[in-house]
Amino acid sequence: FTGLDLEMTINEHYDEVLDVFSDLFIYIFDGINSRCKAELERVREQHPFEDLKYLRPTLKLTYAEGCALLREAGIPQDDYEDLSTENEKRLGDLVRAKYDTDFFFMDKYPLSVRPFYTMPCPENPKLSNSYDFFIRGQEILSGAQRIHEPDFLEERAKAWGIDLKTIEEYVNSFRNGALPHGGGGIGLERVVMLFLGLPNIRKAAWFPRDPKRLAP
pLDDT at residue 211 is higher than 90:
no
With 0-12 CB in 10 A as exposed, 13-18 as middle and 19+ as buried, what is 8? middle
* Model confidence band, residue 208 (pLDDT cutoffs 50, 70, 90): confident
What contacts 48, CB < 8 A, 6 or more positions away? 197
Query: What integer pLDDT is reported at residue 212 of this predicted model?
Result: 83
Any idea what DSSP says for residue 43? Answer: H
What distance in Å separates the CA atoms of residue 141 and residue 209, rounded to the nearest whole number?
Answer: 21
What phi and psi, each to the nearest 5 degrees, are found at residue 11? -85, -50
* Burial grade of 11 (CB within 10 A; 0-12, 13-18, 19 or more): exposed
Please enumerate in sequence order all residues whose Cβ is within 8 A of that of 34, keeping only pairs 6 or more positions apart, or say none. none
| 110-162 pLDDT per residue, tens | 999 999 999 999 999 999 999 999 999 999 999 999 999 999 999 999 999 99
What was the pLDDT predicted at 125?
Answer: 95
pLDDT recorded at residue 5: 96
Distances (CA, A) of 117 to 49, 55, 143: 39, 31, 11
Instruction: Give the pLDDT band of residue 216 (cuts 50, 70, 90).
Output: confident
What's the whole-number mean pLDDT along residues 45-49? 96
